[in-house]
A and B are shown apart, each in its own frame.
Chain A
Amino acid sequence: MFETALTYNDLMFLAKGAGMTLMVTAISVFIGTVLGIIFGVFRYQVGALWAMPLTFVLDVFRSIPLLIQLVLANAFITTVLKIKVSGLTVACGVLSLYTAAYCAEIVRGGIEAVPLPLRRAARSLGMTWGQDMTSVVMPLATRVALPSWIGLALGVMKDSALVYIVQVVELLKSTQILITRLQEPLFLLMICGLFYFVISFPIARFGGYLEKRWSND
């Protein structure tokens, strides 16, 4: 039962897949968060009515399954627009927008959690809107939004398994390739899960650490 045909090279192959998962996640979460902050601040600032077109687009990204988004985006870019892009680019693009859609809501919620009188106090000291935003609102909103954002980042990492559909060989796809060859699905999936855990755990712990650090104030 404990015999396996898994070789060192196969493990390296999996590690490479894990590296791809990590890269796709890092790029998407980074771009998605930057966009999410912009969208979230915009939504908060202009009010629900004026932000409706944006909200609608973001809702589309949040409601349609990622797998469908990936297939459609890939088909649209390569066959309709006839632009040659790598699967990795499509994957990161779609996943970034997907992240941004969720992140915008988290950011908006974070900003709304900052009490208005506090912001009025900042403005009454002569601080500009931008100074109030960067020195008072963002630090406080970050504390509120962090747990949700960590959850989002971890979710995106696991969702990134779907980008195999645009020919990106990430962790899960690598595992499937090995399963096909070695015929040891349970064992390989266990290793695959372990890889995911090793990537996720530090992120989750880091979030916990920040929360603890910030709670002393």
Chain B
Amino acid sequence: MIEIENVRKSFGPLEVLKGINLNVPKGEVLTVIGGSGSGKSTLLTCINGLEPIDSGKIVVDGVEVHARGSDLNKLRQKIGIVFQQWNAFPHLTVIENVMLAQQKVLKRSKAEAEAEAEKQLKHVGLGDKLKVYPSRLSGGQQQRMAIARALAMSPDYMLFDEVTSALDPQLVGEVLDTLRMLASEGMTMICVTHEMKFAREVSDRVAFFHKGVMAEIAPPDELFGAPKTPELQQFLSATH
């Protein structure tokens, strides 16, 4: 369970999160939509402690993320995150990319890490690319590799930060398919996305962020079917 309680966060004079309250129970697929600068990506990086927060608290499975003495490295094993830019380690082959953190962080043996990496890479459809370097992969393939890399840590939660935004349009589908597959397997996910169709299909709930505030949150049929706030109505008409 991820519990977000009255979280505020500023970058200099700009307040990007203005008191966010949100609970994400295990097994839920939550998508977060909203214009750029609405604070939705910042929230994700706060959840796994990559960004500090100014006030409020974020609790993951009973552990407060930003409390003094919280073991962030341990927490991050639980919470996988995939960014807009896939960030493949260019000096390692695809399988080594997926093995590295397993060996360093989880202290898995080389054989164990290799087996797990192979399993995850096959799962995302990269079983034939194990020994190549990331530079030989397309953006979509690199992004799927990044997903496999996060999944190999056996996380309880997955955060996806606009994972298709940097992709060529024809590559978006393969990455979304991977996310759909994960959702159907019961992974707890928070996806920040601009893909409205995708949000509609996979989400249990959709949250709409506007200028640092969570303006609306509802099941997709309700949120897309009957948007309450004028901001969301405007946002939806602009994106369609």
Tell me whether B48 is interfacial, beta carbon within 8 Å: yes
A81 at the interface (CB under 8 A from B): no
Q: Which residues of B contact A183 (CB under 8 A)?
A: none
* Total chain B interface residues with beta-carbon distance under 8 A: 28
Complex interface: chain A residues within 8 A of B90 (CB): 140, 217
**Which positions 120-142 of chain A face chain B at CB distance < 8 Å?**
120-128, 131, 135-136, 139-140
Evaluate contact between A121 and B146: CB separation under 8 angstroms. Answer: yes
Q: B119 near A: Cβ within 8 Å?
A: no
Which residues of B, 55-108, contact A by the 8 Å Cβ criterion? 73-74, 76-77, 80-81, 83, 85, 87, 89-93, 100-101, 104-106
Which residues of chain B (91-143) have a CB below 8 Å from chain A?
Answer: 91-93, 100-101, 104-106, 133-135
| Residue among A121, A123, A126 with the highest chain B CB neighbour number at 10 A | A126
A-B pairs under 8 A by CB, number: 67
Give CA–CA (A115, B86) in the complex, Å: 12
In B203-230, which residues have CB < 8 Å from any A CB?
none
Determine the distance from Cα of A127 to Cα of B75 in the docked complex, in whole angstroms: 11
B150 within 8 A of A: yes
> Is A214 located at the chain interface by the 8 A CB criterion?
yes
Q: Are B91 and A126 in contact, CB atoms less than 8 angstroms apart?
A: no
What per-residue 1/0 map shows which CB atoms of A78-121 lie under 8 Å from chain B?
Answer: 00000000000000000000000000000000000001011011
Residues of A within 8 Å of B153, CB to CB, are: 125-126
* Closest-CB distance, A128 to chain B (whole angstroms): 6
Q: How far is the CB of A61 from chain B (nearest CB, A)?
A: 32
Contacts of A205 in B (CB 8 A): none
B87 touches A216 (CB 8 A): no
Give chain B nearest CB distance to A53 CB in angstroms.
29
Of all chain A residues, the one with the shortest Cβ separation from B146 is: A121
The answer on a CB contact under 8 Å between A217 and B104 is no
The minimal Cβ–Cβ distance linking B180 to chain A, given in whole angstroms, is 23
Asked whether B149 is an interface residue with its Cβ less than 8 Å from the other chain, the reply is: yes
In the complex, chain A residues whose CB is within 8 Å of the CB of B89: 118, 121-122, 136, 140
A residues in contact with B92, CB < 8 Å: 217
Do B91 and A127 touch across chains, with their CB atoms under 8 A apart? no
- B50 part of interface (Cβ distance < 8 Å): yes
Indicate if the CB atoms of B83 and A126 lie closer than 8 Å. Answer: no
Is A143 a contact of B105 with CB atoms below 8 Å?
no
* Closest 10 A/B residue pairs (Cβ): A121-B87, A125-B101, A217-B133, A126-B76, A126-B105, A126-B77, A131-B104, A124-B81, A126-B73, A139-B91
Hey, which bits of chain A sit against chain B, CB under 8 A?
115, 117-118, 120-128, 131, 135-136, 139-140, 143, 214, 216-217
Beyond known contacts A125-B100, A128-B73, A214-B91: 11 more, CB 8 A cutoff: A118-B89, A120-B83, A121-B87, A123-B76, A125-B77, A125-B80, A126-B76, A127-B100, A136-B89, A140-B89, A217-B90
